[in-house]
């Protein structure tokens, strides 16, 4: 039996980041991970492999759409799917090995195997029981099930199966127009698959700024994705998806070679023994925590996808660092008001803070500064001038309340606004900051100018 200061269950972005910070703060730290590789959902079957495929297929799309316009002539490359898969595996492998290196460098012990918590202060891995002053649950999430749908990861797949299909399918139905469904749908649409997205609600990407969502849907349609909106899926048999339109109860069917079920994820805490331990859970399966990540069991903490909040890698990482600081007797904190969300399609979509819909509902007086990428020379040069930057600021104080961007590099641009929001900046603060020309960032500045006396290039 080994004794540690901290044992973390799960080596996803929450768990591994927390472990490194714990070690940096002088705590003797171990991580239990049942997978063969570190990095969790994000590195193995989530953020990273999906971005590799998005990158490869983005280039293919560029060749087809834009190369000729730039005088780059010649035949388009053919797709070697096995090689693309190997590239993806290489990217994943390099990153998971990188975490192993960081664990060694920081002297974090990897306890290999699936862990459980037989008693407060104890973690069991295989036949070994280890003790720790603090235990952190960072066991993440798994795809949620859809009634009437059996996943076989061959014809009916989750995102995990969609990342490793044996061949590029001719057709695909994606159930759910959320981030994961649209990213994977984009990948296959660019590879020539006929992609139809079936969504229960009347708008894609629920919770997103409505104007951005509308523009995004229009652009995706132009890229060849089809949408069936307001459709409640009844059952899936083989590749046959039966649905009922919510507005008129009309029933219909659609058939495809592969069906991707992308209707969300649920916390994964199976096998930990939380019920026997008496850990309080929330109705949606998350571990209940207070604002210091503490469960109701002394010394037991939880973070990441296993607890409430957006299921995002960087939210898990931030919580991982904060809980480490708290365990080490410092002041860990996460500002949940400034957690960006990004969709890595082309164009990218990014947002932070409040949406206009939320501000309206809260009865808050706000102003909108909007700037189209059409007025941004750099965006026009890369054929991505369709989107816009929308900045929301308090009507009286000019303090930035949110930003919503659809356009080139949106996933990076959003951080300028995140930093501004962390510092309680006004739209004028952004507007008065010199931005290099020609950059996409100028569009953010122009949106800030539009909150005041007006944008220059609109």
Return d(Cα 178, Cα 146) in angstroms, integer: 15
Of residues 133, 49, 39, 117, the one with CA closest to residue 84: 49
Of residues 260, 242, 264, the one with CA closest to residue 178: 264
Whose CB is nearest to ligand FAD?
140
Q: Is residue 439 part of an annotated ligand binding site?
A: no
Q: How many helices (DSSP H) and strands (DSSP E) are in the chain?
A: 14, 22
Q: How far is the CB of 67 from ligand FAD (least distance, A)?
A: 27
Q: Which is nearer to ligand FAD, 240 or 294 (CB)?
A: 294
Q: How far is the CB of 307 from ligand FAD (least distance, A)?
A: 8
Contact stretch for ligand FAD (CB under 6 A) within 136-144, 228-236, 386-394, 440-448: 136-144
Contact stretch for ligand FAD (CB under 6 A) within 78-86, 97-105, 266-274, 349-357: 266-274
Site for ligand FAD in 16-55 (CB under 6 A): 32-35, 40-42, 46-47, 50
Give the three-state DSSP class for 147: coil
Q: Is residue 180 part of an annotated ligand binding site?
A: yes
Contact stretch for ligand FAD (CB under 6 A) within 278-286, 303-311, 364-372, 423-431: 303-311
The full DSSP string for 381-424 is HTT--S-EEEEEEETTT-BEEEEEEEETTHHHHHHHHHHHHHTT
How many angstroms separate the Cα of 140 from the Cα of each of 144, 277, 336, 362?
A: 12, 19, 18, 32
Return d(Cα 242, Cα 232) in angstroms, integer: 9
Q: Are 406 and 212 in contact (CB under 8 A)?
A: yes
Q: Which is nearer to ligand FAD, 56 or 447 (CB)?
A: 56
Q: How far is the CB of 267 from ligand FAD (least distance, A)?
A: 9
- Characterize 70-98 residue by residue with b for buried, 16 or more Cβ atoms within 10 angstroms of its Cβ, and e for exposed: eeeeeeeeeeeeeebbeebeebbeebbee
* 314 interacts with ligand FAD by CB under 6 A: yes
User: Is 437 a catalytic site residue?
Assistant: yes
Q: Which is nearer to ligand FAD, 32 or 430 (CB)?
A: 32
* 141 interacts with ligand FAD by CB under 6 A: yes
Instruction: Kindly give the pairing relationship between strand 226-228 and strand 194-198.
Output: parallel
Q: Are 401 and 366 in contact (CB under 8 A)?
A: yes
Contact stretch for ligand FAD (CB under 6 A) within 7-15, 60-68, 217-225, 285-293: 7-15
* 272 interacts with ligand FAD by CB under 6 A: yes
Interface residue with ligand FAD, options 313, 392, 410, 430 (CB under 6 A) = 313
Instruction: Kindly give the pairing relationship between strand 122-125 and strand 141-143.
Output: unpaired
The residues that bridge with 30 in the sheet, in sequence order, are 7, 109
Contact stretch for ligand FAD (CB under 6 A) within 8-16, 62-70, 165-173, 356-364: 8-16
Q: Is residue 51 part of an annotated ligand binding site?
A: yes
Q: How far is the CB of 408 from ligand FAD (least distance, A)?
A: 17
- Total chain residues near ligand FAD (CB under 6 A): 37
Return d(Cα 81, Cα 89) in angstroms, integer: 12
* 407 interacts with ligand FAD by CB under 6 A: no
Residue with token string 């008496």: 278
Return d(Cα 314, Cα 14) in angstroms, integer: 8
Whole-number CA gyration radius for the chain: 23
- Catalytic residue, from 333, 415, 437, 457: name it: 437
* 159 interacts with ligand FAD by CB under 6 A: yes
Give the three-state DSSP class for 284: coil
Q: Which is nearer to ligand FAD, 144 or 428 (CB)?
A: 144
Q: What is the binding site for ligand FAD (CB under 6 A)?
A: 9-15, 32-35, 40-42, 46-47, 50, 114-115, 138-141, 159, 180, 268, 271-272, 304-306, 311-314, 316, 344
The catalytic residue positions are: 437
Annotated binding site for FAD: 51, 115, 139-141, 311-314
Q: Which residues are annotated as a binding site for NAD(+)?
A: 176-183, 199, 264, 305
């Amino acid at each position: 039996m080994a004794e540690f200061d901290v044992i973390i269950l799960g080596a996803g972005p929450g768990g591994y980041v927390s472990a490194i910070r714990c070690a940096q703060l002088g705590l003797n730290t171990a991580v239990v991970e049942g997978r063969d590789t570190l990095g969790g959902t994000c590195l193995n079957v989530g953020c990273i492999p999906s971005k590799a495929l998005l990158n490869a297929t983005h280039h293919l799309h560029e060749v087809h759409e834009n190369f000729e316009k730039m005088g780059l002539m010649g035949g388009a490359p053919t797709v070697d799917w096995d090689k693309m898969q190997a590239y993806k595996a290489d990217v994943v492998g390099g990153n998971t090995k990188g975490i192993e290196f960081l664990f060694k460098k920081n002297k974090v012990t990897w306890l290999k195997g699936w862990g459980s918590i037989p008693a407060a202060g104890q973690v069991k891995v295989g036949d070994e029981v280890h003790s720790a002053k603090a235990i952190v649950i960072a066991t993440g999430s798994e795809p949620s099930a859809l009634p009437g749908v059996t996943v076989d990861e061959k014809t009916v797949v989750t995102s995990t199966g969609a990342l490793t299909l044996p061949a590029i399918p001719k057709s695909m139905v994606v159930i759910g127009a959320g981030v994961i469904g649209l990213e994977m749908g984009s990948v296959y649409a660019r590879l020539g698959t006929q992609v139809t997205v079936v969504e229960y609600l009347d708008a894609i990407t629920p919770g997103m700024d409505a104007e951005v969502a509308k523009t995004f849907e229009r652009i995706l349609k132009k890229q060849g994705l089809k949408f069936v909106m307001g459709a409640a899926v009844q059952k899936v048999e083989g590749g046959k998806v039966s649905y009922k339109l919510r507005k008129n109860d009309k029933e219909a069917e659609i058939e495809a070679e592969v069906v991707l079920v992308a209707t969300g994820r649920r916390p994964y805490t199976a096998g930990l023994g939380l019920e026997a331990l008496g850990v309080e859970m929330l109705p949606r399966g998350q571990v209940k925590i207070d604002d210091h990540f503490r469960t109701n069991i002394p010394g037991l903490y939880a973070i990441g996808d296993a607890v409430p909040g957006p299921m995002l890698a960087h939210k898990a990482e931030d919580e991982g660092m904060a809980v480490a600081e708290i365990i080490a007797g410092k002041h860990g904190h996460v500002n949940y008001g400034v957690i960006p969300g990004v969709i890595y399609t082309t164009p990218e979509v990014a947002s932070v803070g409040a949406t206009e819909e939320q501000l309206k509902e809260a009865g808050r007086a706000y102003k909108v500064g909007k700037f189209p990428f059409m007025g941004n020379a750099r965006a026009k040069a890369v054929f991505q001038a369709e989107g816009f930057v929308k900045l929301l600021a308090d009507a009286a104080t000019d303090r930035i309340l949110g930003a919503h961007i659809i356009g080139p590099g949106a996933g990076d641009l959003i951080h300028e606004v995140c930093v501004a929001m962390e510092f309680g900046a006004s739209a004028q603060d952004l507007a008065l900051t010199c931005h290099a020309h020609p950059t996409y960032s100028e569009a953010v500045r122009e949106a800030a100018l539009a909150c005041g006396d007006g944008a220059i290039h609109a």
